[in-house]
Structure 1
């Protein structure tokens, strides 16, 4: 059997013309296959840099031959090699390019799967041995999840998005991105409604309250979320999840640790998503401060007084009512055309 070095040499010969060797045409298809074989052998020998290089070359040749599926697979393998080498930027680039090529090949579900898998594996690799994710890496991982979920939403493939939604929720909660998590849970709920999975809608409604209370212990904000879901889903009021959500809000509103302790003991909480259930088990009132709850109440009162004053004055100018919008995940869900791939530098 040829060695990895010999296979790589053969692949390079297949991918180039040579008058001296009487090669007047190139065989991109066979070159891609041979580069891939060389990469596998390099990987078996733990020569990850060589493996990553050959996987990248394989992807280029397959793409030139029009074999988009095999090109995407080669880039997926290259991403794994770069991840093992701790070269996270190149790993992320390969995962994204692999997903774009798979999408170009008409395999939307596989394209989204690659992004979700890549985000999870990179997060796992970066947090291994207590490594801390940088803000840059967090944003890159977040964008991979968002792009995957956008693909599922655009294709009405909510039944395939469950894993991505839950993995994204877990990532956001682990990194204390509570506002983003609340927005993602709401988008996830839209998917459950489309699938007519109301039992999951009820769980998400409860999760919204839990995440909001974990965020800032603001019982008023949590109650607003609770009332919003009740208005949207009247049948929710008769569910166990609604009862638990009400108990959580009352416990924080009344500063009742005994009520909170009895609520978090409820066995139904274990059926929530793992990270949300974990938050429930560890929830306490000890971290509350007087400023945490008083600020929202003051804000509500001021807004009511302002509204009454404006009504007496005949309304306020439109310019006075304009508020600066906060940047959130919604902007990431907009349909943007992907950048064209650079075949000479896939990874």
Structure 2
């Protein structure tokens, strides 16, 4: 489908080029038909994403309309090409040139308001280019002049507000004051006294912001005497203006703060209201204090991490890994203990994991044995099991009982070399003394050596029955009479 549309656009462009040339049967170019062909081709190219071809066809259509004395249509074609340059191709210089051509053609056709709108578009496109501030100012002025050419201000108020915001944004306060004077004339011609008084107060605020209280006093006197039907001195705007000018003349900080709290300043246009609320008698000192605050303000870890190219994620992951490794790190017994750490964690060395405790569960934190060690241990256990089975079979062949005394078994166990029994069974000798602990909270285990009745019975041979418990001697003699419940004497 796109291939067919592309072929159709190419054919329309070729037909338009042929119509702009003379031939044997056509002695003059057909500008009207050629312009329509170019417009259709440009629309197809634009839908297909061929921006360069679309711009070329729009420019050819504009030339055709201009040759045909259709100035409004020519200006529209140039404006469409400029929109593609500005929004899609991002070529602001070419957009500026085409906007200028479109505005010229609109003015030739008598469409002043349309020309002013196009000039404002050109100013906004040039604002994005560096070192083009003066050109933007001139374009705004041309747009205002074009809109007020017939002495009407109905459609110029929005352009004046946009121009004023542009000037304040770039701190061009002198040009902003001149633009506000034009606004006063526009509001006066449109019978809008409220907006007129706001523009007067905005002029006084900008004079004070520009550190010119004398000019602010002169403007206040002018507005008080020549306010006309607006009644500037009789309303809240006049009272606030008098307070502001008096506070700067008398260097009264309290009066200035009281004037800034008025709601009249808050209802001004956004940039002017912001300037009015931040007026100060010592602007240089305030700027230095703001710079110090910015310098002393700590940067958050998230902002610093993202500013360094995402190093925060790697450092945080590394910190988590180090924290997990520290949990399972038993350390060496010869390591010196930190006295500060011991005071923080208390005297319980088992909970704190200090190296001084010998009864702490090292198996929970010890390193896991390797596969070779596990294989060797398994082979030792299997060899010990086979040895015991062989001894039992030999004992049965000799006719001996399978169950021998515990003393013989203890003797056989004692024949195991020292250290191998611990590896095979995982247990230590019960007669070995328990390790001593230096901590007061650790419990020392001492094995009991007192023989009990159960151990004596278990150590006897199988054939002998356990001895009966000794009879308990009664306190009374055996020859004593037995109690008879029927005997009442």
Q: Cα deviations across residues 245-267 of structure 1 (Å, max 9, x unaligned)?
A: 12222333333444333333332
RMSD: 2.2
Q: Cα deviations across residues 122-161 of structure 1 (Å, max 9, x unaligned)?
A: 43xx1xxxxxx534x2121111111121123320121111
List structure 1 runs of 4+ shifted beyond 6 angstroms: none
Report 1 or 2 for greater relative contact order, CA contacts < 8 Å, sequence distance ≥ 6: 1
Provide the C-alpha distance between the structure 2 equivalents of 1:155 and 1:259, rounded to a whole number of angstroms: 45
State which of 104, 107, 112 in structure 2 corresponds to 1:103.
107
Structure-to-structure mapping, 1:198-237, within 5 angstroms:
198-215=193-210, 217-233=211-227, 235-237=231-233
Provide the C-alpha distance between the structure 2 equivalents of 1:51 and 1:264, rounded to a whole number of angstroms: 54
Provide the C-alpha distance between the structure 2 equivalents of 1:92 and 1:49, rounded to a whole number of angstroms: 17
CA contact (8 A) 2:5 2:44 kept: no
Residue 278, structure 1, aligned to residue 274, structure 2: yes
State which of 110, 114, 117 in structure 1 corresponds to 2:118.
114
The residue matched to 2:283 in structure 1 has which SS? coil
Greater share of residues in helix: 1
Offset, 1:205: 0.5
In structure 2, runs of 5+ residues without a counterpart are 286-489
Q: Cα deviations across residues 146-190 of structure 1 (Å, max 9, x unaligned)?
A: 112112332012111101111111111111111111111112211
Quick check: which has more Rg, 1 or 2? 2
Offset, 1:202: 0.5
Residue 251, structure 1, aligned to residue 247, structure 2: yes
Provide the C-alpha distance between the structure 1 equivalents of 2:23 and 2:160, rounded to a whole number of angstroms: 51
1:5 match: 10
How many residues end up aligned between the 2 structures?
277
Q: Cα deviations across residues 195-225 of structure 1 (Å, max 9, x unaligned)?
A: 222211111100101111222x222221122
TM-score, length basis structure 1 = 0.73
Offset, 1:118: 2.9
Provide the C-alpha distance between the structure 1 equivalents of 2:181 and 2:109, rounded to a whole number of angstroms: 31
Q: 1:271 to 1:15 in 2, by over 3 A?
A: farther
Structure-to-structure mapping, 1:1-347, within 5 angstroms:
2-3=5-6, 4-19=9-24, 22-84=25-87, 85-123=89-127, 126=128, 133-135=129-131, 137-215=132-210, 217-233=211-227, 235-288=231-284
Q: Cα deviations across residues 220-257 of structure 1 (Å, max 9, x unaligned)?
A: 22112211221221621101111121222233333344
In structure 1, runs of 5+ residues without a counterpart are 127-132, 290-347
Offset, 1:2: 4.1
Offset, 1:97: 1.4
Farther off after superposition, 267-276 or 102-111: 267-276
TM-score, length basis structure 2 = 0.53
The residue matched to 1:230 in structure 2 has which SS? helix
